[in-house]
Amino acid sequence: MSKKQNYYSDSTPEFTPKTLSFPDIPAYAYAADLAKELKSGNLDKAGALALYESMLTIREFEEMILKTRTGAYEALSDYEYRGPTHLSIGQEATAAGICSELGVADYITSTHRGHGESIAKGVAAIQAMDMTGLRRRCPECAELSGEALREAVMEDHVFRTIAELFGKEAGYGKGRGGGMHIADFRVGHLGANAIVGGGVPIATGAAMTLRLRDQRDRLVACFAGDGAYANGVVLESLNWAAQEQFTGPIAQHQFGLPIIYCICNNHFGMTGRAEGEVFGVDYLARRAAGFSLNNMHAEVVNGMNPLAVRDAIARARRLIQAGDGPVLLEFDTYRYYGHSLSDPRNEYRTRDEEARWRQVDPLPVFRKALLAAKAAGEKALAELEAKVAERNARAARRAADSPDPEPAEVIKYLYTDTRCDQVPAEFAKPRQFEEAPKIKRDEEDNVTCRDALKEALIEEMARDARVVCYGEDVADYGGAFKLTKGLLETFGRDRCFNTPISEACICGTAVGMAMTGYRPVAELMYMDFALMASDQIANQAGKWHYMVGGAVEVPLVYRVSVGGGKGYGGQHSQSLESVFCHIPGLRVVYPSNAYDAKGLLKTAIRDNNPVMFVESQLLYNEKSPTPAEEYLIPFGEAAIKRRGDDLTIVAWGPAVIDAVQAADQLAEAGASIEVIDLRTLVPLDETAIYESVRKTGRCLVVSQAVDIGSFSGEIVAKITAECFDWLDAPPLKIGAKNGIAPQAHSLEMAFLPSLDDIVEAARSLL
């Protein structure tokens, strides 16, 4: 590829009258049946029975939930179940059919009623494993062999699924996530999601990982219901997946995103009906026409027929292997029960409607097909049905009797204490297309904070091919603040690329990439925009390590800039670090100078937790000595910027500069001020704060965040609780006014805490 092709695209004015047309979308095209599938060799009798077993396992599991609620499930007649009850009874053919065409290494994401997909993914994987794989998955069954081993592993899968539903330590997420967040990373299940549509950008990010590794033999199947396809981040994800920079002339390599968006259209978002009520289209497959010239190969499939489902997935896989993804498939299915068991469903649907759908119930219909095609006899089917029911009953009893998590471990798995100290060999020598930009230093090694951050990115991207940088305008243009200029030319468009203006999808795809082995650095141009992505940051990035009992790590960095002090007004000036300090599971970092910015960003990229990395635009041009050689700054270690004995000032970000100036000014009047730069808010260096306050007896906490609800209040509370006997005055805090950032310069200067404000508050304490 030429440099022009690789880096840039252009356009030509063209205003000739024309009519735009769209490709047709096929619906219900499958015309075969089980007998024909067996005759053609597309499916053998064992495969047909395996498909039936998968559907049976799902149905038995979910009917257990239904019966347990009323005490009618005999094996659990004495067990009081509490937890979610979002059943997918009726949708088994969609889940089993899709997963029957997936390999163990393929990924799925699922929904809050995702028990079916979770069971189906595990069942299909276990059916496909050899003896070595089965023993590796379930070492406690290693003495078994043959079908006895496979059956033991299958029962273990059901047991761990039920145990998670019941909130037990033996569950897939050690009881931390429960049924709505169930995951099994050993077979590529990246998690069910209680946020409608919340898993769709995560799936899209996982497909990004597969694309970057050029793994055309693998794909992601993203399950989401019809209700999700009115959700903004879902539509953002479709647009993201269809970007022409993945397949067009500027692509580093032409490989469409390897993902199948599986719309499980059960006709009800919750209690609202999709068609005829809350949507303006008859089929959701039409959504694809808005994102791709090939309609994302959209198709409507009979989701009550597992053979039609697996046929559609098989064809979609071939498209993906040819590099022609993504694919969108709408599976027309039905759930026989309400949104939850508290929903009687009779207020918004009729018995006649349910009766019509019961006539195409996938289990009895497929059972008849098995008999008609002589794939199995009545005795064999009865034995299989009894085996599945007895397996579930044993697993359920065992799960109910298994230990609960220890209360003392209530926040275990909130963070991981690991980091990437050693890059795996396959990623240790990333390709570079051009020489990296040289960072300018003066004779005293001073560099700007902007260049220090750029140098950190260059060093980490050159160290580890898994580090990718993306966001709005970061590629050709170099970002709104020119911080990423040159990274595209150095590392190529696969590792530094522009994104749509889709903050939620930027942050959500980062979660999916991080879950599947990459280390994304995702940029949000302004911290204000993090509010648009708050679900993906708070409910997804921050929670998955905990909700799956430590089974996955989410190593990502969100770079967000704060524009306060530059006259940008209420929607581009907010210092929102306090908001994200309130979200357990996130690290929150806010450097005050170039030296710290470089060392902390490198630490953030190597940390295996999600990190909110806050950058003040006021500091981008500030210079300080910053070595060219590599160094890291540990999280949770504050810096003492001034030593003193009379008063402690605790600050972070640009407030540190004001605090130091205030200390110098007060020193002229004979006051000895100690200034602590926290550098990281989560984790917080409480020791440094307490030692200083116990020495000085007085404390002032300063930040540029709005004062009400600021993290400064948390620090004051900790000081009051831990240092009360040493205090000579009540600790004070200063922040921005409790209002909205104004545009007018005179008003903004009054809005933000000033040097004079800090000096005045300090004098009041002294």
**Catalytic residue ranges:** 572
What is the rounded CA–CA span in Å between residue 93 and residue 309?
7
Cβ–Cβ under 8 Å, residues 317 and 258: no
Residue 342 has which token pair?
């508290």
What is the C-alpha separation between 321 and 256, in angstroms, rounded? 9
Angstrom CA distances, 297 to 115, 161, 221, 300, stand at 28, 34, 15, 10
**At a CB cut-off of 8 Å and minimum separation 6, what does 580 contact?**
530, 537, 538, 586, 588, 612
The two three-digit tokens of residue 98, written as one number:
């899709």
**Got the DSSP string for 410-474?**
TTTTSS---B--S--GGGSS---SSPPPPPP--TT-EEEHHHHHHHHHHHHHHH-TTEEEEETT-
Between CA 265 and CA 638, with CA 533 as vertex, the angle to 5 degrees is: 145
Tokens found for residue 613: 């990395």
Residue 414, classified by CB atoms within 10 Å of its CB into exposed (0-12), middle (13-18) or buried (19+), is middle
Neighbours of 728 (CB within 10 A): 11
Q: How many CB atoms lie within 10 A of CB 333?
A: 28
Detail the DSSP E strand segments found in 186-240.
220-225
Measured N-to-C along each axis, helices 755-765 and 655-667 cross at an angle, to the nearest 10 degrees, of: 50
Could you tell me the CA-to-CA distances from 431 to 83, 125, 360 in Å, in that order?
A: 49, 35, 54
Looking at residue 344, the DSSP 8-state letter turns out to be -
CA atoms within 13 A on the CB side of 80: 0
CA dihedral 163, 167, 169, 175 (to 10 degrees): 110
Rounded Cα distance, 732 and 266, in Å? 56
CA separation for the pair 743, 748 (Å, rounded): 6
Strands across the sheet with 496-498, in order? 496-498, 467-471, 519-524, 557-562, 611-616, 587-589, 680-682
The Cα 268–Cα 333 span in angstroms is: 10
What is the C-alpha separation between 278 and 276, in angstroms, rounded? 7
Q: CA torsion angle for 541, 543, 547, 553 (degrees, to 10)?
A: 40
487 touches 461 (CB < 8 A): yes
How far, rounded to the nearest angstrom, does the alpha carbon of residue 706 sit from its chain's CA centroid? 28
- Asked if residue 689 lies in contact with residue 726, where contact means CB atoms within 8 angstroms, the answer is no
Cα distances from 625 to residues 449, 568, 622, 628, 632, in angstroms, run 10, 30, 11, 10, 15
CB 653 within 8 A of CB 710: no
One-letter amino acid at 55 equals: M
The helix-helix angle for 232-241 and 503-515 (nearest 10°) equals: 70
Locate 46 and state its tokens: 């064992």
For residues 589, 594, 598, 601, the Cα torsion angle rounded to the nearest 10 degrees is: 20
Rounded Cα distance between 38 and 48, Å, is 9
Order the strands of the 259-265 sheet from edge to edge.
107-109, 220-225, 259-265, 327-332, 299-302
Per the DSSP assignment, residues forming a β-bridge with 734 are 702
